[in-house]
Amino acid sequence: MLTLPDTAVAVLGTGVCLPDQVVGNDTVAGPAGVTAEWVARKTGIRTRRWAKPDQATSDLAVAAGRAALEDAGVRAGELSLVLVATSTPDSPQPPTASLVADELGVRPGTVAFDLNAVCSGFVFALATAARLLRGPALVIGADVYSRILDPTERRTAVLFGDGAGAMVLGPGEPSLLAARLATFPEAHPLIRVPAGGSRIPASADSIDAGLHYFAMEGRAVRDFVLDTVAPGIRDFLRDAGVRAEGLAAFVPHQANPNLVADLAAAVGVSAGRTAVSGAEVGNTGAASVPIALHHARAGLRPGDLVLLAGFGGGMSAGFALLRWPGPGRSTNASR
């Protein structure tokens, strides 16, 4: 179903936080039993960023949130909502959003909670925030995947990086035109972290078995993207009355640059209008869509149509159509 916001929702600002540590393919290839050339050829990824040992997801989220608030000209005390999309929270409890809200200095009573739709999380959070909007809202996608990777597993260890991206929403000239969220639960085994929850609690045995590592069926995930996500995007655009060639920018989840190129071709969007940030920062989970959007926005003009497309564990997919705001709504704050 095509969902339209209840009220006019404007994009007021964006921001990102990428850790300082740049990790090349040589670093990840050896433990995974492959070569740097193999990683680049198979994925299109050249580098990724890893958080410092003392950095957690909330630290990256706070930095991205501050950058977005500065960009928007909004004070933390004005926020009505802080929503953090992540599948790598600081800890099972409390919500990472509570830590972020506290560090930013929001007013007591401000709503703050986490949302987990894995790599679809930011688009799910964006659509959710639009429904709850009563004043300025801060939506953040943040993940630190480097902490849950098996360095010997080539299907996952070479793909992921850490980062956070944020967006401030508020009442105003409509930027969010439509959204669609979908889950395909029969495919949930394709992406998983088996242990650490109530099914398989943390124990010495679960750790020894490597059950706390991220696991993914790479080929099946690729099939899901091309066989399910691509047609879903085409249907979404049709129902929104937009042709693929009418998009100024297509901003998909950065699973890897090779898959992004195949998805864009299946949707009918040219390479020149497809945002690709994964070559430099890798797959940053729920942060990948806002990070890719932040990198792409320098080439956007007021009124341009932008399509966001998240997809990931669950399996889930989320699409959002934006009309890019005019001057004074989104400038160039970053970190």
- Summarize pLDDT for 215-251 with one digit per residue, the tens: 999 999 999 999 999 999 999 999 999 999 999 999 9
Say which of 25, 116, 283, 295 is annotated catalytic.
Answer: 283
Q: What is the pLDDT of residues 33-81, one digit of tens each?
A: 999 999 999 999 999 999 999 999 999 999 999 999 999 999 999 999 9
**Active-site residue, from 17, 119, 256, 294:** 119
pLDDT, average across residues 261-265: 98
Active site (annotated) includes residue 294: no
The per-residue pLDDT for range 162-185, each reduced to its tens digit, is 999 999 999 888 899 999 999 999
Q: Is 17 a catalytic residue?
A: no
Q: Tens digits of per-residue pLDDT, 264-295?
A: 999 999 999 999 999 999 999 999 999 999 99
User: Residues of 238-248 as b/e, b for ≥16 C-beta within 10 angstroms?
Assistant: eebebebeebb
Q: Domain extents for the chain?
A: 1-330
Q: Which of 253, 256, 294, 295 is catalytic?
A: 253
Q: Percent of the chain scored above 90 by pLDDT?
A: 93
For residue 319, name the pLDDT band (cuts at 50, 70, 90). very high
pLDDT at res. 333: 39
State residue 185's pLDDT score.
97
pLDDT at 330: 41
The pLDDT value recorded for residue 326 is 79
Residue 327 pLDDT: 67
Rounded mean pLDDT of the chain? 94
Asked if the model's pLDDT at residue 135 lies above 50, the reply is: yes
Q: Does the domain spanning 1-330 belong to CATH 3.40.47.10? A: yes
The whole-number pLDDT of residue 7 equals: 72
Residues 81-126: tens digit of each pLDDT: 999 999 999 999 999 999 999 999 999 999 999 999 999 999 999 9
pLDDT at 308: 98
